[in-house]
Amino acid sequence: MELTGFTIHELQEQLKNHKTTSRELTRQVLERIKRVEPKIHAFMTVTDDAALAQAEEADQRLQSGRPVSPLTGVPIALKDNLCTKGIRTTCSSKILENFMPPYDATVVRRLKETGAVLIGKTNMDEFAMGSSTENSAFGLTANPWDVNRIPGGSSGGSASAVAADACAAALGSDTGGSIRQPAAMCGVVGLKPTYGRVSRYGLVAFASSLDQIGPITKDVTDCALMMNAIAGYDPDDSTSANLPSADYTRTLDRDLTGLRIGIPREYFIDGMDAEVLYAVKEAIRTMERLGAMTREVLLPHTEYAVATYYILATAEAGSNLARYDGVKYGFRVKPTKDLLEMYMKTRQAGFGPEVKRRIMLGTYALSSGYYDAYYRKAQCVRTLIKSDFDEAFKQADVIITPTAPTAAFKIGEKTQDPLQMYLSDIFTISVNIAGIPALSMPCGFTKTGLPIGLQIMGRPFAEETVLRTAYAYEQATEWHNRKPNL
């Protein structure tokens, strides 16, 4: 039986009822990776031996008769900015090419505790800075629906691997759309949880007030199962919210009666792809048939979100990336005549063009004489954007928008125009600025067969409402059942 196309909850039934074993499942996934990797290059590292050993342990758990997690024995991939003890964590950057973390990120540890099989580390934009996974120092990732197109970014490797059935699910990180946008481009489900819902301990920092870890899965039920495993308070993360964690599968329901959906006019703009607009409006009509009520809401400061984000994110990135200086983490340019030259040449050789661009932007925004004009003002606008959402959620339980203004674009199409690349995240950035949860899921396909993403935003810590809305829509449609032909 071919198992690689199954969802987590389908695999759970196969494993618990002893219709297959984790070892057989893992073997099939590893074979699948070997077949599709030459076409998509989704992985930085595949941990064959470790994965098979974990599968053996999972089979022992499954055969013991004791209660097991839904993730026990299931192959899951990790974005390569999550620390994994003894397994290299590169952030797809030359400067971390041979970095071996001495500890596991909290989300990695929690997945191991469930008995999940960790299959490998996925490719990404360098230090999560990008919208297309073309900024990796180790080669770009392709979209399984069309290998001449980008998979989105920065978690493009994770989204591409899930769409290509090279793992059952994956973890990504989202600073300005880096889970949701690739999920939209690859036709899978991606959730950015509320800031503080999932521990960031062991996530290599890009912009610490914006970063959040979340799941990329084949359907909404799997997304809820992954959240059950990774969400919850962590004393090792000072920004972790000390709140009880729910069973996210409990509230999944096909009925949306009484749900109030907000439609923000600022997200339905001129220049948006007509096929995207049509698919999203059809999705809203489907939700109305399921019992939801729709109303217009206003998010008036949306037009300032991209500029605000690229000041705040680059300022934090410039600070966070100062630690990569040739003294630590292994990469160092030699020979140099003194310490300053070593710093400069190491950073020059170790960082790619996009990372350098963002460090310079951030350094400028924080520099003497410009701090008040840029960084402080951006923080003030951040407060206004957050207030917009607070007001909108007084009238709505969720807010529905497109995830991206277009479907996946061609490889190389925007690499020479950074501003156009940045605008790929125009509909996702505000969510990170406000710290709220949001999910992307497929809501249709273009005439050329490319997936279109629908974004569902929720109140802070209302992931259950977001997942319930997504589940009801998913069960009323068939988009999640389509597979790319690789």
Average pLDDT over residues 413-431: 88
Q: In the prediction, which pLDDT does 38 show?
A: 98
Q: What is the pLDDT of residues 229-251, one digit of tens each?
A: 999 999 999 999 999 888 999 99
Mean pLDDT of the chain: 96
Res 424 pLDDT > 90:
no
Q: In the prediction, which pLDDT does 415 show?
A: 85
Q: What is the pLDDT of residues 370-420, one digit of tens each?
A: 999 999 999 999 999 999 999 999 999 999 999 999 999 999 999 888 878
Assess contact for 136 and 158: CB atoms under 8 A.
no
Residue 79 known to be catalytic: yes
Q: In the prediction, which pLDDT does 345 show?
A: 96
Q: Which two tokens stand for residue 159?
A: 């989204």
Q: Output the CA–CA distances (angstroms, integers) from residue 386 to 36, 304, 392, 429, in the order listed.
A: 42, 12, 10, 12
Q: In the prediction, which pLDDT does 465 show?
A: 98
Q: In the prediction, which pLDDT does 418 show?
A: 81
Residue 423's pLDDT band (boundaries 50, 70, 90)? confident
Q: In the prediction, which pLDDT does 246 show?
A: 86
Average pLDDT over residues 420-444: 94
Q: Chain centroid to CA 484: how far?
A: 20
Please give the full DSSP string across 228-254, using - where no structure is assigned.
Answer: HHHBS--TT-TT----PPP-TTTT--S
Q: In the prediction, which pLDDT does 422 show?
A: 81
Residue 101's pLDDT band (boundaries 50, 70, 90)? very high
Residue 374, helix vs strand vs coil:
helix
Average pLDDT over residues 161-186: 98
Residue 154 known to be catalytic: yes
Assess contact for 447 and 462: CB atoms under 8 A.
no
Q: Chain centroid to CA 407: how far?
A: 17
DSSP 8-state assignment for residue 393: T
Res 210 pLDDT > 80:
yes
Q: Which positions ≥6 away from 162 have C-beta within 8 Å?
A: 77, 168, 169, 170, 186, 188, 216, 217, 218
Burial of 67 (0-12, 13-18, 19+ CB in 10 A): exposed
Quickly name the fold that domain 8-258+399-481 has. Answer: Amidase signature (AS) enzymes (3.90.1300)
- Indicate the domain borders of the chain: 8-258+399-481, 303-379
Q: In the prediction, which pLDDT does 486 show?
A: 87
Point out the catalytic residue in the list 132, 178, 424, 430: 178
Point out the catalytic residue in the list 22, 69, 79, 158: 79
Average pLDDT over residues 305-334: 94
Residue 328 known to be catalytic: no
Q: What is the pLDDT of residues 435-453, one digit of tens each?
A: 999 999 999 999 999 999 9
CA dist 194 and 212 (Å) reads 8
Q: Output the CA–CA distances (angstroms, integers) from residue 123 to 97, 292, 321, in the order listed.
A: 12, 39, 19
Q: What is the pLDDT of residues 244-297, one digit of tens each?
A: 888 999 999 999 999 999 999 999 988 789 999 999 999 999 999 999 999 999
Res 358 pLDDT > 90:
yes
Q: In the prediction, which pLDDT does 18 show?
A: 94
Q: What is the pLDDT of residues 37-75, one digit of tens each?
A: 999 999 999 999 999 999 999 999 999 988 999 999 999
Q: What is the pLDDT of residues 102-115, one digit of tens each?
A: 999 999 999 999 99
Closest CA to 153 of 436, 425, 482: 425
Q: Output the CA–CA distances (angstroms, integers) from residue 170 to 7, 123, 188, in the order listed.
A: 12, 12, 11
Point out the catalytic residue in the list 22, 131, 136, 154: 154
Q: What is the pLDDT of residues 188-201, one digit of tens each?
A: 999 999 999 999 99
- Percent of the chain predicted with pLDDT > 90: 93
Angle between helices 353-366 and 305-320 (to 10 degrees): 100
Assess contact for 40 and 486: CB atoms under 8 A.
yes
